[in-house]
Amino acid sequence: MKKRIGMGRLVLAGLVLIVGAAVQAADPAPEAEAESARKQDKPLRILCLGSSSTGKLRGMLTRDWKLFGEDGLHWKGGDFYFCIPHMCKWLEAGDEKRYQEDIAKCKANAHREGEEYDVVFFQILGSVAARKGADKHVPRILDDVCETLKKEGRRIVIWHQGWSPRLEKPLLKWTLEAARRNGVEVAFGGAATQAVYEDKGANKAAHDYLNARTLEGRGKIGWRRGDYVTSCAVYAALTGKSCVGLPHPKPKLGDDGKPLDPTVTEEDILYMQKMAWESQQKYSKLLEMPVKEKVVEKPAAPDAK
């Protein structure tokens, strides 16, 4: 009898261990979830058309804040300086030839033989809003670029980054309307940084995002909170996953063991991640609104002689 009881206890203990292991596997720790979210099912092959800021963004996503794993991005830059403000300048000057040359370069970069991309990513910065004639020309530029980059099975993502509150409103309007017309996606980096800026009462440290701070891996130049919020929004746009809870570098410590930037706390990081995710979700819903007709801007007729 005692032998049977002993065997029963052994069987019961084994069942407890099995059930415990199953529960642990089904309910991973938050750290494991964050690490899993960071790793892609397969690397994203991204062609980036843009200025030096887009190259900087790649560094922020992978090296500085490690939002993507080591193999999370296969990122290739275009071989020309793609600049929407310059294209706006050509149109305002009536220089259709130079404008079409830039459009042709976009096409040549995006449709190279033997090269395939999951995403073509390009940037529209707030500085274009200060250009003369921008309200007339930018919608046409966005339509032409999106049409040029399209290919079956490929995603097109516009990185919208206003930086300045004064320039944010028109930039957001143009980007949203163009994305709806052309059926493309948007990384709402400007909207996310603007949300942090306007929500200054909630988190003063995060609001002061233009101040440079030192973070591990960035040397003494530091980082800008706006850059971090932007990177989180881009991560959310590219992956469709929440950036809340993603791992991040710890603030660099001094000789006394205290953070060199005591204002960067876990609370600040989580706050910025939440603001980026909420902004990305909020503005992505606006992409489902009714579509306006595409902009058709005919080149000026040559002077009759």
Cα–Cα dist 7/253, whole Å: 55
Q: Which CATH number does 39-287 carry?
A: 3.40.50
The answer, yes or no, to whether residue 156 has pLDDT greater than 60, is yes
Q: Does the pLDDT of residue 182 top 70, yes or no? A: yes
Query: What pLDDT band is residue 87 in, cutting at 50, 70 and 90?
Result: very high
Cα 43 from chain centroid (whole Å): 16
Output the pLDDT for position 143.
96
How would you class 261 by CB atoms within 10 Å of its CB: exposed for 0-12, middle for 13-18, buried for 19 or more?
buried
For the record, the structure tokens of 175 come out as: 């980007």
Closest by CA to 189, choosing from 225, 214, 150, 153, is: 225
CB distance 184 to 148 below 8 Å:
no
| pLDDT category of residue 17 using cuts at 50, 70 and 90 | very low
Residue with tokens 């995006």: 110
Report for 13-27, 177-191, 215-229: range of highest mean pLDDT = 177-191
Confidence of residue 270 (pLDDT cuts 50, 70, 90): confident
Query: In which band, very low, low, confident or very high, does the pLDDT at 294 lie, cut at 50, 70 and 90?
Result: low
Q: Where are the beta strands (DSSP E) in the chain?
A: 44-49, 73-77, 119-125, 155-161, 185-188
Task: Report the distance separating Cα 97 and Cα 87, nearest Å.
Answer: 11
For the entire predicted model, the pTM comes to 0.74
Confidence (pLDDT) at 219:
37
Q: What is the pLDDT of residue 166?
A: 72
Does 152 score more than 80 pLDDT?
Answer: yes
Over residues 3-27, mean pLDDT: 47
Token match 């469709």: residue? 240
- How far apart CA 54 and CA 157 sit, in angstroms, is 12
| Top-confidence residue, 63 or 174 | 174
Question: How open is the CA angle 186-192-198, to the nearest 5 degrees?
Answer: 145
Q: What is the mean pLDDT of residues 33-59?
A: 67
> What pLDDT was estimated at residue 205?
54
Percent residues over pLDDT 70 in the chain: 61
Work out the pLDDT band at 74, boundaries 50, 70, 90.
confident
Digit-coded pLDDT (tens) for 113-144:
888 889 998 888 877 888 899 999 999 999 99
Walk across the sheet containing 73-77 and list its strands: 73-77, 44-49, 119-125, 155-161, 185-188
pLDDT per residue as tens digits for the range 197-254: 777 655 555 545 433 343 333 433 334 566 778 888 999 999 899 999 887 766 666 6
Q: Where are the beta strands (DSSP E) in 73-191?
A: 73-77, 119-125, 155-161, 185-188
Residue 297 sits at the vertex; the CA angle it makes with 296 and 299, to the nearest 5 degrees, is: 140
Of 18-32, 155-169, 195-209, which gets the smallest average pLDDT? 18-32
